[in-house]
């Protein structure tokens, strides 16, 4: 059966977004051309601009969607996790699942349009909240050292970002999180332990 116009339109738009997500993860965000995305979907180049007035708008839609979905996933998984180790483990798991795109985002973030940069910040802010509340509980309980929670969070994010940004050095073609995630996690926990 033939699709209605609206269905067709939405389908194409979705295909463009998911093709973009995939190509961005593999080849980089900036260096991906609108034509590449059109080709992958199997539509003409012009079609991209039927759905998105500019490349930037496409970018925003893709990255925002990614941010929303990853944030949701994290919240769902960590709903019943209350100790820090578990939450950090979930954090790693979620990142690992989307490692390629996430790493791309970290790499290119500072060069992306301002509208998009907010996405990564929001994402991290959301995650910081969970990590910090768990951390404060364990500080009170005397399980870990007392320290300002922003420093604890920045140390954790710094470590993870550093490994992701240099993932080719640390893990070649493989997943850094899969390869080094446990080592990083145990090291971090040992550092902050009392």
Residues in contact with a copy of itself by the rule CB under 8 A = 28, 30-31, 107-111, 121, 145, 147, 151, 154-155, 157-163, 165, 169, 183, 187-188, 190-192
Interior/surface letters 32-47, b for 16+ CB within 10 angstroms, e for the rest: bebebbbebbebeeeb
Q: Is 24 in the site for DNA (CB under 7 A)?
A: no
User: Could you write out the DSSP letters of every residue in 108-129?
Assistant: HGGGS-HHHHHHHHHHHHHHHH
Q: Is 26 in the site for DNA (CB under 7 A)?
A: no
Which one of DNA, a copy of itself, none is in contact with 46 (Cβ closer than 5 to 8 A by kind)? Answer: DNA
Which one of a copy of itself, DNA, none is in contact with 79 (Cβ closer than 5 to 8 A by kind)? Answer: none
CA–CA separation, 23 and 101 (whole Å): 9
Q: How far is the CB of 100 from DNA (least distance, A)?
A: 20
Binding residues among 51-70 for DNA as defined by CB under 7 A: 51, 53-56
CA–CA separation, 155 and 188 (whole Å): 8
Q: Is 115 in the site for DNA (CB under 7 A)?
A: no
Site size with DNA, rule: CB under 7 A:
25
Per DSSP, the three-state class of 193 is: strand
Q: Is the Cβ of residue 7 or residue 31 nearer to a copy of itself in the bound state?
A: 31
Contact 119, 70 (CB under 8 A): no
């Amino acid at each position: 059966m033939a699709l209605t116009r609206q269905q067709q339109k939405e389908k194409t738009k979705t295909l463009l977004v998911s093709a973009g997500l995939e190509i961005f993860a593999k080849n980089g965000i900036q260096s991906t051309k609108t034509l590449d995305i059109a080709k992958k979907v199997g539509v003409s180049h012009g079609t991209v601009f039927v759905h998105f007035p500019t490349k930037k708008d496409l970018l925003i839609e893709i990255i925002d969607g990614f941010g929303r979905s990853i944030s949701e996933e994290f919240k769902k998984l960590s709903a019943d996790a209350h100790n820090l180790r578990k939450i950090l483990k979930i954090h790693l798991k979620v990142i690992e699942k989307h490692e390629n795109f996430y790493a791309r985002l970290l790499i290119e973030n500072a060069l992306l349009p301002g509208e998009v940069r907010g996405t990564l910040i929001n994402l991290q802010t959301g995650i910081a909240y969970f990590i910090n509340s768990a951390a404060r509980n364990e500080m009170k309980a005397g399980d870990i050292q007392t320290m300002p929670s922003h420093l604890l969070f920045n140390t954790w994010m710094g470590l993870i970002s550093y490994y992701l940004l240099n993932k080719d050095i640390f893990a070649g073609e493989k997943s850094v999180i899969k390869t080094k995630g446990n080592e990083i996690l145990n090291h971090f926990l040992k550092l902050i332990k009392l």
